[in-house]
Structure 1
Amino acid sequence: MRYTILLITLLISTFSFCQVNNSNLVEQITNSGFFHNYNVENFYLHTNKDVYFTGENIFFKAYVVNEVDNTPNMDTKNLHVNLYNNENKLVSSQLFHVEEGKTNGSIKLPAHLKSGQYTIQLDTQWNRNFKSGSNFLILVKNIDQTDFSTTVTTDIETTEEPITFYPESGSLIENNENVIYFKVKNDNVKAPIGRIVETKTGRRVAKIFPINSNYAKSTFFYDSEFTAIINVDGKKEKITIPKANKTGFTLYKTKSEKDDVINFQLSTNRETIKKQKFIYAVHHKKGVLKTKASFNLTENILNYNFNILKSDLFPGLNTISVFDNQNKLLIERSFFYKDKKKVDILAKVISQSQDSTTLDLNLININKATNISISVLHEDSEVINYNTSITNTLLYQDTNFNTSESTDLYFQQQTLENSFVYKSKDKQLAFSKEYGIKLIGSLNAPVKEPTSYQVALTSSTNEIFTTTDLKADKKFKFEKLYLTHPSEFTLLLLNKNGKSQESRFYIYNINTDYVAFNTLQNPISFRSDFIKPKITKKTYTQSELEVPKFISKNVEQLDEVVLEDVQKRNEKRIKQIKKENLYLAINAGLSRDYLIDPDKDFQTLEQYLRTITGIRVVNDTSLIRVLNARPGGNFKQRNYISIVIDGNFITQKAGGLQNPHRPVTDFELISVNLSGLGNGIVHQNGVINLVTRKGKSITSNSYVSKNYKTTNGYNLNQETLSDSNLFYPSKSSEYAFSTIDWIPDLTLNPSTTNTIKIKKPLGEHVKLIINGVSLDGELIYKVIELKVPLE
């Protein structure tokens, strides 16, 4: 009789997941509260290395992607990068501007930090609606310590039982085939094996097959009381299998004969079908719905196959959840999917010089542009952890494992509803997306009818000119500002005619809504695989691998004493002049600037103006008029450019620029804004600002506007690798702990040549650590070794 029942249960009805045109089912799913359409972010991080010394800069590249498909998140603008120490206390919090899902920069490590495992956290204000920020580990070594080892030791106490078990999909039911995974605490590398026996008779009913050194699996029909016997470290361990449920479902991932599908089998028993007549199943990722199917249960069919096309799968985490007609979650099974399509980057050496190599990088099996970051390290580098690749990061975010071997086993340990991590979220989320910096202040001057005024903010450094209304209480607020920190800006009070007048302001704060937690909320537990096993071709002595030291402050560092060239000196002087001039601040970022050199520019003002592209100078006896050259070469009298000398407007319609034959060296700066943007409709033909040299002023009238300094803002995206002032006592020490080159922002296009030049000492083996994300959401991790060919 027993075998007859087994044969009956093997009758299978096959269903494929598809889009069901059932309005009632769609409404039922929508109203269940399990599903959502939030744009949730995920974060990836690539640092130039994984082990640092105090005083160094951590150079990083951060990727912000959509959680559901890994494509770059184009909506995110503000990324907060928090550094926590080995005690999970906040060391620093910095803001970086995200463009097209990526940003890069550097974090300075203070000299006083203790050695230990540190955490870099990537977070946004919007992300806090759903989860804590994503954490990434690095090692920090205090420069004053003599220990150069990259090994971390820790004492971890555990009360874990020798054997634990996890029914697949979390349940056991009577009179049905069940699958159980066993986790074995095994000090022996030999994989565990064993058997399932009937407790009363000792009769073997199934084998326990090994998966790896710590996991095993068994499949058996549950119709009695059973015991598992497993060989662990040469000893036989017994574990009693608990009683199964009288009703319920099991959901198994099974093998498929087709390469393009993933197959699952849903099983139940007759007792369940007597009570349950309708169920529906959905395929989703953390509550983002992809496909769905519904069906009626019949008494003669106890097993149902579900086929999902691989093309419909989410990258990373996928879940099948089964509900009854009351939207009660019956059972679910999660799994991790990674397309077996081999995406890759091939590198070809084009040319080599004494200190660099030019490469051609080609994308393989990637059809859209891919942004990558590259760290160039010495072949014998001891500061890279190969388990921290961007592909393993995806595994870790979804499963807390950083290798694919244990991901499927991990999902057997989950509880029901674990996959619906955002189910409890309200429709009105607590945190909004951030776009830029907020500046709040008030006017510190008496004015009538404050609401008829506007406040203008200008910053030449950030190329900003923007306005906002003044409120009745004389307060104002700027939002979505792109202000770098540190930088300066100017505030101007504009009346209803668009004219500015002298005033002073009080700044309440410059900030974002995001505030980093002082203590890390979701610390990563110690991972023994964080640093790779020390495998080197060369044996180093203690003296050879002496830890680098700071260069003494009493010693002149010639490589850092660099004389400013003429261009940088000129740029510095132009910025200084703009800070002192109201109208130059208004035109910041829109003008072309000409700094007059008194030792080289031996022309008259008229002659010099004629050399400037885009304007035309008309000589009218003792004065000149300056016109804007419109497209097509038409010069009309109404195209007079507004001329400003030391903040004073010169009227051209009634006259012109007098004394045009005076030396141009009487002026220090000529700034030309042909667009007229930022100057109002009166000056739509453009503005030329003339700033006289000290002692050569044409007019004594001047306007002084106050500059303000930022207290918060975006950190600049630093791309150039600049090693801190560390002194490596030997070549071996430098090779082990330093980075040769860092390229944080490189876009590769498919089906074309992508040329890049990297630093590479001639005659030395190096390796390139590459991480990246394509516009399709493909994750790239590649290690390229560039070896010197044998002669």
Structure 2
Amino acid sequence: MVSKRICRTVAMAVAVTFGVTVQAQKLDEALGKLGEEYQPERAYLHFDKGAYSPGETIWFKAYLQAGIFPSDISKNFYVDWTDGTGLVLFHTTTPLLEGTAKGSFDIPSTYKGQVIHVRAYTSWMKNFDTVFFYNKDLRVVQAKDAATAVKKTEVNLQFLPEGGDMIAGLKSRVAFKATDQWGKPVFVKGKITNAAGELVDTFKAVHDGMGTVEIETKAGDSYTATYTGADGQPKTVKLPELKTVGATLSVNGYGARRSFLVERTADAPDNFKTLYIMATLQQQLIYRAKVDLTESAAIGGSMPVGNLPSGLVNITLFDANWVPVAERITFVNNHNYSFKPTIEVVGDTRKRAKSFIDIDVPDTVSANMSISVTDLNAGADTSDNIVSHLLLTSDLRGYIHNPAFYFKNESDSLQKYLDLVMLTSGWRRINWQDIANNKMPDIKYRRDSSYLSFSGKVFGATPIQIREAANINLIMKSRDSSTSLNFLPLRPDGSFSDPSMLFFDTLKVYYQFNKIRDMASRVAVSFSNGLLPVPYRIGDLPPVANLVIFDTSGNARIRLLANEQARLTKLLQTTTLEGVTVRSKAKSPMQILDDKYANGLFKGDGYQFDVMNDVVAQSSFSVFQYLQGRVAGLQINNTGTGGQPSATWRGSNTSFFLDEMPVDAQQLSNIPMADVAYIKVMRPPFFGSFGGGSGGAIAVYTRRGGDVKSEPGKGLDSKEIAGYTKFKQFYSPNYAVADSRHEQPDVRSTLYWNPYVLTDPKTHRISLEFYNSDITKKMRVVIEGMNKEGRLVHFEQIVD
């Protein structure tokens, strides 16, 4: 397991243990169990570039870690692609191979938003705080951005005492952080006064809106910060209230050791006179010490960290009863997180010229890398990378501005700035109260220890019928028209499965029972792929989502490339369609559906759903489950009185119709989704309902004869089931060979993308080649990756 390897690694550090009590041993055992069985995963996505235009493809490579190693916990990886409001545009499901996955998303050519929000996760990650899912906003540069009024900056100033609290009578180091309404840092300076209005100290941000101030606190006093707001007017912020008794924890130092100072109030009770310090890294104990304050009110110590893996160390101060009273995180950077391949880029920026990349990993450890080569001005995001994300931001709550900055070099100034991030950021906290009671995290989602698996269950059949049927016969047809047969035995409970089946895209499954051919019409059969359901909308987007994107030279370059590509596409279409006269506007598929099914008052405006072509609909159990959360204002309760579903809109009951005849909720709930062709939800008031329809209406239309195409399995019951998202291959032209596609202008902004560059001890040298476009004058080469020991690489080079 991953956590055992972590234990072996952190054991190289000197773990100092004094005064081990029974309670300490219980904490050790519970902490060991937490690290062994409940290690969370962290994800990072390498994109081919940082900004796109509508109609382009976003290419990505995912890297997954648990602790400090590639994760072996999960086998399936999920990505939600949403607009700025959280509406899911597309859902990607890909298999994980040695902690990595690949995929892509085609931005709709009609997309009007300025960002595509990316949320990536595994099933195992859903057991823990979802704020640690991978989240990122990708810029979408429109041909003409809509004019946006620039809002005045609103300053949010926070004061955060080191360790968590300000204690009366003790000197406190208080960090502060100033951000605007989008979470971006702003410069701030001001003064701190006491309750009498006397000056205590001044403060001034030293890096990205952050800084610290030292305050000699006095019992019964209070403190206020005054600063100048964006409007030029003075603003005030109250500092945290003082605790009357307690202890403080202060941590200093960089490099191989961390010094700490523990201080208690003079009149502190006995439980503050014997204290304990515990330090953890990736939920593994690395240091413990007893702090004796019976004779003295303050004592200092030093913690060795020079042999640790690089990462966040969580230092907790406990009282004599092992209740946590202060906590502090510090970043240990021992510069042992990377592997160093030899990379040589031989670039040629002439039109359609060939370039080369040679990579040599002279190591006995296998490496897994991804490479992107783009037009230099085609939208790069250098604020975060695989190193800064997996080592830093993936363990911290909230937005961290420009995290890659802290790994630019090994200077002390960067370490000091990084410590400000530690003082002002939340992190993956350990719930020590739960640990003390041996209470582990509540696991609702199992470990994804296997890949996608095909399974199902028969409902409504008696045990005798299941025994007589014996098998279910399946005809599986994929979208490429390939067909396969499968015969699966039925278990006594009606379930069946084939764990060896692995499929991509969508399968249409026709089924019948082996010995009772008409049984399919009398029972319900559900199919499952073992994957998480596709979400319709995600909430709680990070605060940096939906930022107003102002024009930059990079945006202008992307817009130029996109407009040129659109012009060429239009030119090709014009040439192809020359001589064709369009006399009428073609109807959309939804209009055709509405004309086919709806009549009279039912032809009015409403929410429309093409159920026949919706994979999510085919996997839903009922109309009500399918519609839940899909219509703004419509409230659906799937577990109403007596188990009967219900629906309301604006506080009034919604009317139900089946083929435009009124029915009750139970009747509508019993309609198999395989029989439904079209659903229309009419907004209130709907005058086709009895009493005026103040709650709107749901109209369900069943399939007609013309809705079923002639295909293998005709006459059998069928359902669709989604598999892994179909892989798309990146097209990289080879101008050394003749190809009709080469006759068209080449305005690619991504010149080369390779998500899987693999090396091992035998094949440790890789040579790659690619061709330039017609317009690129400068290239950006980015290589990222991870080896089997969890060490990382980030390489970037400009070619001109």
TM-score, normalization: structure 2? 0.62
Cα pair 2:159 2:240 within 8 Å, conserved: no
Q: Secondary structure at the match of 2:92?
A: strand
Cα distance in 1 for partners of 2:55, 2:180 equals 42
**Which structure: larger Rg?**
1
In 1, Cα distance between the equivalents of 2:274 and 2:16? Answer: 17
Considering only aligned residues, what root-mean-square deviation do their CA atoms show, in Å?
Answer: 5.1
C-alpha distance in 1 between matches for 2:355 and 2:168: 67
The alignment partner of 2:125 has SS state of helix
Structure 2 unaligned spans of 5+ = 1-12, 407-416, 578-712, 734-740
Distance 1:508 1:238, change over 3 A: closer
* Local SS of the residue matching 2:16: coil
Describe the superposition over 1:589-628 as per-residue Cα deviations: whole angstroms up to 9, x where unpaired. Answer: xxxxxxxxxxxxxxxxxxxxxxxxxxxxxxxxxxxxxxxx
> Structure 1's 107 and 191: CA in aligned 2 closer, same or farther, altered over 3 A?
closer
Q: Residue 278 of structure 2: SS of its match in structure 1? A: strand
CA distance in 2, matches of 1:88, 1:479: 33
- Indicate if the aligned counterparts of 2:115 and 2:546 stay in contact, CA closer than 8 A: no
Partner of 2:538: 520
Tell me if 1:439 matches 2:449: no
C-alpha distance in structure 2 between counterparts of 1:340 and 1:33, whole Å: 27
- Alpha-carbon shift at residue 475 of structure 1 (Å): 4.6
The verdict on how the C-alpha distance between 1:428 and 1:227 changes in structure 2, with shifts beyond 3 A counting, is closer
Would the alpha carbon gap of residues 363 and 292 (structure 1) be closer, same or farther in structure 2, given more than 3 Å must change?
farther
Separation in 2, partners of 1:254, 1:29? 26
Aligned 8 A contact 1:50 1:385 in 2: yes
- Identify which of 728, 750, 757 aligns with 1:718: 728
Q: Compute the displacement of 1:401 (Å).
A: 0.3
Task: Describe the SS at the equivalent of 2:294.
Answer: coil
CA shift at 1:535, angstroms? 5.6
Is the 8 Å Cα contact of residues 391 and 780 (structure 1) preserved in structure 2? Answer: yes
Of residues 754, 757, 760, the one that matches 1:746 is: 757
CA distance in 1, matches of 2:714, 2:158: 76
The corresponding residue for 1:371 is 368
Structure 1 match to 2:22: 24
CA contact 1:16–1:306 (8 Å) conserved in 2: no
CA distance in 2, matches of 1:768, 1:333: 38
SS for the counterpart of 1:272 is: coil
Give the superposition deviation at 1:136. 1.9
Partner of 2:176: 182
Do the aligned partners of residues 770 and 480 (structure 1) sit closer, same or farther apart at CA in structure 2, a change above 3 Å counting?
same
Counterpart residue number, 1:255: 253
Contact 1:168 1:180 in 2 (8 A): yes
Which residue in the other structure is 1:360 paired with? 358
Partner residue, 2:789: 776
Quick one: distance in 1 between partners of 2:779 and 2:494?
Answer: 61
In 1, distance between residues paired with 2:559 and 2:493?
69
What does 1:45-84 correspond to in 2, within 5 Å? Answer: 45-66=45-66, 68-69=67-68, 71-84=69-82
> Residues of 2 paired with 1:111 and 1:503: CA distance?
47
**Could you tell me which residue of structure 2 aligns to residue 12 of structure 1?**
none
For residue 443 of structure 2, the aligned residue among 417, 423, 429 is 429
- Could you say if the C-alpha distance between residues 203 and 378 of structure 1 is closer, same or farther in structure 2, counting changes exceeding 3 Å? closer
The aligned counterpart of 1:328 is 323
**Residues 52 and 558, structure 2, Cα contact 8 Å, conserved in 1:** no
- SS of 2:307's partner is helix
- 2:455 maps to a residue whose letter is L
Counterparts of 1:412 and 1:775, CA distance in 2 = 32
Q: 1:173 aligns with which of 160, 167, 175?
A: 167
Number of residue equivalences: 602
SS in 1 for 2:393: helix
Instruction: Please state how far the C-alpha of 1:51 moved relative to its aligned partner.
Output: 2.2
Question: Are the structure 2 counterparts of residues 730 and 328 from structure 1 closer, same or farther at C-alpha, using a change threshold of 3 Å?
Answer: farther
Rounded to whole Å, the distance in 2 between the matches of 1:72 and 1:422 is: 30
Which of 215, 219, 244 does residue 210 from structure 2 map onto?
Answer: 215
Q: Is the partner of 2:105 in helix, strand or coil?
A: strand
Return the letter of the residue paired with 2:167.
I
- The AA in structure 2 aligned to 1:477 is S
> Structure 1 residue 758 and structure 2 residue 779: aligned?
no
Correspondence for 2:304 among 308, 313, 317 = 308
Instruction: Write the distance in 1 (CA, Å) between the matches of 2:442 and 2:238.
Output: 48
- Mean CA deviation greater in 176-185 or 315-324: 176-185
Q: How does 1:137-152 map to 2 (within 5 A)?
A: 137-141=137-141, 146-147=143-144
In 2 relative to 1, CA 519–197 (structure 1 residues): closer, same or farther, beyond 3 Å? closer
What is residue 665 of structure 1 aligned with on the other side? none
More helix by share: 2
Alignment of 1:353-502 (within 5 A): 355-363=353-361, 368-379=365-376, 381-394=377-390, 395-399=392-396, 400-404=399-403, 408-413=419-424, 418=429, 420=431, 429-434=443-448, 435=450, 436-441=452-457, 450=467, 453=470, 469-472=489-492, 475-479=495-499, 481-486=501-506
Change (3 A) 1:718 1:423: farther
The answer to whether the 8 A contact 2:457-2:525 is kept is yes
Who is 1:695 aligned against? none
Q: Take 1:348 and 1:200, find their aligned partners in 2: how far apart are those partners?
A: 66
Q: Is contact 1:246-1:271 (8 Å) kept?
A: no
Q: 1:219 to 1:210 in 2, by over 3 A?
A: same
Per the alignment, in what secondary structure is the counterpart of residue 268 of structure 2?
helix
Q: Distance in 2 between matches of 1:339 and 1:152?
A: 48
Report the counterpart of residue 798 of structure 2 in structure 1: 785
- What CA deviation, in whole Å up to 9, does each residue of 1:16-73 have, x standing for no partner? 853569361444315879982303211111121222233322211111221x32x211
Superposition deviation, residue 297 in structure 1? 3.1
